[in-house]
């Protein structure tokens, strides 16, 4: 919990230092400010906020998951975004275009139907569609279709817009920022953390590790072992594709893992490469388009015909944990050090709920609005890793 008497307020000191000004760090800062904790320093090694994984994301948000905690995090984030809608104003940051999972495999369709029942029992709005229902929602999907599921409250968030909003509001309340300051050492003595950065020394009573794909490295500086590794992920942009409707749901071919959504007049295509090794490499892999050409052509032929615009396509880093769920909470071995990282591809959609949970832990001693105990770091040592099957 934040000890307000811990460190006097001055330029380089704070009650809370947040390392990482991506969407997650900005959400922690925003929620701390809303809880009245404003002696906060948000630190980033880059010259601008939100320039890490946040700037590379697809921006999907969905509640169609198969673990209690993923569903709860998504629903809480959706509620927060709905509550903030008027404050955010225009353009809206959260667009409910839906997520459509489809399959040509009857066995997979049975599993998806069971998943939908699990989700509905937890308050998720999700429809099970037969083949005709899928074709009505996605007339651009070709090949065999056994059925699918559609989440009408799922959709898209503008990652940069959300980060800017959270940061603007935090800064308005007094949260301070330090950009171009890479944290290179973390020492703890006398109940205070001393952060050595490339832009000088900073002090804080409490440190939040929101360093995205670098969270494991930052934790190691404090002497903590946090299993978050970076893994490259590509997003491809098609050429102009007038054949698809102007608005489509995030459409996922569950049989191949290829997913598409609209990006203006073009289409954005994603796929998780199972052969991608962990590492900080974000160079675009010229072989990647070849790997997904056949499944795209087969399921979304109009997208295949539109071709690819490789110059506009990119790769960024997922920040991945062994069970593809975030680490959210204190590190017992390093009192005052809290981790909010490892979202494994869900950091945009879960940032609102994660930031609130972390802020509540710091100000009130526990996450009151949501039970996030399943996301504790200790789960790995206890052998309580969580198993999610709807990973994209
Ligand atoms: C291609 C792609 C598609 C994605 N699609 C989705 C999606 O559809 N939906 C979704 O929810 N998520 C998606 N994600 C995941 C999402 O982008 C991340 O989970 C999210 O951005 C994590 O936010 P963050 O703030 O934790 O990390 P980041 O945005 O990476 O922020 C961490 C910050 O920490 C800073 N930092 C690191 N080390 C230090 C240091 N030592 N000192 C100071 N600062 C430091 C970095 O500069 C960075 O700005 C996608 C990711 C990629 C790459």
Residue 307: CATH number of its domain: 3.30.9.10
pTM: 0.96
- pLDDT of 64 strictly over 60: yes
Task: Give the position, in ligand 1's atom list, of the atom nearest the Cα of 213.
Answer: 30
In the reported structure, the alpha carbon of residue 326 is separated from the centroid of ligand 1 by a whole-number distance in angstroms of 12
Q: Which atom of ligand 1 is nearest to the CA of 350?
A: 11
Please check whether residues 193 and 312 belong to one and the same domain: no
One domain, residues 297 and 235: yes
For residue 344, the ligand 1 atom closest to its alpha carbon is 19
pLDDT at 5 over 50: no
Whether residues 164 and 52 share a domain: the answer is yes
9 versus 177: the higher-pLDDT residue is 177
DSSP type of residue 390: -
- For 253-297, how does the pLDDT look when each residue is reduced to its tens digit (9 = 90+)? 999 999 999 999 999 999 999 999 999 999 999 999 999 999 999
Closest listed residue to residue 35, CA positions, set 2, 57, 7:
2
Asked if 45 and 191 sit in the same domain, the reply is: yes
CA 228 to CA 213: how far, in whole Å? Answer: 7
The verdict on residue 26 lying in a domain is yes
pLDDT level of residue 189 (50, 70, 90 thresholds): confident
Domain check: are 151 and 236 in the same one? yes
How buried is residue 287: exposed, middle or buried, by Cβ count under 10 Å (0-12/13-18/19+)? exposed
Question: Ligand 1: distance of its center to the CA of 106 in Å?
Answer: 36
**pLDDT at position 7, please?**
47
> What is the predicted pLDDT for the residue at 10?
61
Residue 222 tokens read as 């404090």
Arithmetic mean of pLDDT, 49-56:
98
Q: Pocket around ligand 1: residues whose beta carbon is below 6 Å from it?
A: 19-25, 43-46, 51-54, 56-60, 182-183, 210-214, 218, 233, 235, 316-319, 341, 343, 345-349
Residue 194 located in a structural domain: yes
Does residue 27 surpass a pLDDT of 80? yes
Mean pLDDT of the chain: 96
Mean pLDDT value of segment 125-133: 98
DSSP label of 127 = E
Same domain, 237 and 346: no
Q: Which of 54, 167, 312 to mutate to test the pocket of ligand 1 (most atoms within 8 A of CB)?
A: 54
Same-domain status, 307 and 235: yes
Minimal-distance CA residue to ligand 1 atom 3 = 57
Residues 183, 195: Cα–Cα separation, whole Å: 6
Confidence label for 387 from pLDDT (cuts 50, 70 and 90) = confident
Same domain for 239 and 212?
no
Number of domains the chain contains: 2
What number of other Cβ atoms are within 10 A of residue 46's Cβ? 16
Are 109 and 214 in the same domain? Answer: no
Q: Best mutation site among 348, 354, 355 for ligand 1, i.e. most ligand atoms within 8 A of its Cβ? A: 348
Closest atom of ligand 1 relative to the 345 alpha carbon: 15
CATH code, domain carrying 343: 3.50.50.60
Could you report the per-residue pLDDT of 329-370, keeping only the tens digit for each? 999 999 999 999 999 999 999 999 999 999 999 999 999 999
| Domain annotation covers residue 311 | yes
CA of 182 to the centre of ligand 1 (A): 16
Instruction: State which ligand 1 atom lies nearest to the alpha carbon of 156.
Output: 8
Q: How far is the CA of 54 from the centre of ligand 1 (A)?
A: 4
In a domain, 310, yes or no: yes
Whole-angstrom distance, CA of residue 85 vs CA of residue 77:
12
Band (3; pLDDT cuts 50, 70, 90): low
Atom 51, ligand 1: residue with shortest CA distance: 57
Using the atom order of ligand 1, give the atom closest to the CA of residue 23: 25
Q: Given 282, 301, 320, which residue is the final one in a domain?
A: 320
Structural domain ending residue among the three candidates 267, 290, 320? 320
- 2 — pLDDT class (breaks 50, 70, 90): low
**Closest protein CA for atom 35 of ligand 1:** 20
Looking at the fold, whether 130 and 182 belong to one and the same domain comes out as no
37 in a domain, yes or no? yes
Closest residue CA from atom 49 of ligand 1: 52
How far is ligand 1, taken at its centre, from the CA of residue 187, in Å? 25
pLDDT, tens digit (0-9, with 9 covering 90-100), for 78-113: 999 999 999 999 999 999 999 999 999 999 999 999
The whole-number pLDDT of residue 6 equals: 43
Q: Check residue 392 and give its pLDDT.
A: 83
Asked if the structure places residue 62 within a domain, the reply is no
Q: Are residues 299 and 200 part of one domain?
A: no
pLDDT surpassing 80 at residue 9: no
Average pLDDT of the residues in 192-217: 97
Give the per-residue pLDDT at 8: 46
352 and 208 in one domain? yes
Nearest ligand 1 atom to alpha carbon 157: 9
Q: Identify the pLDDT of residue 388.
A: 85
To test the pocket of ligand 1, the residue of 200, 345, 375, 390 to mutate (highest count of ligand atoms within 8 Å of its CB) is: 345
Which of these three, 320, 340, 355, is where a domain ends? 320
Task: Give the domain extent around 216.
Answer: 13-56+159-228+322-382
What DSSP string runs through 218-270?
HHHHTT-----EEEEEEEEEBS--TTS-SS--EEEETTT--EEEEETTEEEEE
* Residue 103 falls inside a structural domain: yes
Return the SS3 of 4: coil
390: in domain: no
């Amino acid at each position: 919990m934040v000890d307000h008497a811990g460190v006097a307020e001055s330029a380089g000191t704070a009650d809370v230092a947040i390392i990482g000004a991506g969407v997650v760090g900005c959400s922690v800062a925003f929620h701390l400010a809303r809880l009245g904790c404003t002696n906060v320093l948000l630190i980033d090694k880059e010259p601008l906020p939100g320039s890490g994984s946040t700037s590379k994301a697809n921006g999907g948000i969905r509640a169609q998951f198969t673990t209690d905690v993923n569903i709860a995090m998504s629903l809480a984030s959706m509620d927060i975004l709905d509550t903030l809608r008027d404050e955010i104003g225009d353009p809206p940051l959260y667009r409910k275009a839906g997520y459509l999972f489809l399959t040509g495999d009857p066995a997979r369709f049975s599993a998806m139907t069971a998943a939908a029942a699990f989700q509905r029992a937890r308050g998720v709005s999700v429809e099970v569609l037969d083949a005709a229902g899928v074709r009505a929602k996605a007339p651009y999907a070709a090949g065999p279709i056994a059925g699918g599921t559609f989440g009408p409250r799922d959709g898209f968030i503008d990652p940069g817009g959300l980060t800017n909003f959270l940061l603007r509001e935090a800064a308005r309340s007094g949260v301070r920022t330090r950009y171009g300051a890479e944290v290179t050492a973390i020492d703890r003595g006398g109940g205070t953390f001393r952060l050595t950065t490339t832009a000088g020394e900073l002090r804080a009573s409490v440190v939040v590790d929101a360093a995205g794909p670098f969270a494991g490295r930052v934790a190691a500086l404090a002497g903590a072992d946090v299993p978050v590794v970076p893994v490259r992920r590509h997003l491809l942009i098609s050429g102009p594709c007038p054949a698809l409707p102007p608005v489509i749901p995030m459409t996922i071919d569950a049989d191949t893992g290829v997913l598409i959504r609209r990006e203006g007049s073009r289409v954005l295509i994603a796929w998780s490469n199972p052969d991608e090794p962990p590492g900080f490499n974000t160079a675009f892999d010229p072989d990647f388009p070849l790997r997904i050409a056949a499944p795209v052509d087969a399921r979304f032929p109009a997208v295949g015909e539109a071709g690819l615009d490789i110059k506009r396509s990119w790769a960024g880093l997922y920040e991945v944990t062994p069970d593809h769920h975030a680490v959210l909470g204190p590190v017992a071995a390093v009192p005052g050090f809290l981790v909010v990282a490892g979202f494994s591809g869900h950091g945009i959609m879960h940032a609102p709920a994660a930031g609130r949970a972390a802020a509540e832990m710091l100000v009130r001693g526990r996450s009151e609005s949501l039970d996030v105990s399943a996301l504790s770091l200790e789960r790995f040592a206890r052998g309580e890793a969580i198993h999610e099957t709807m990973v994209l």
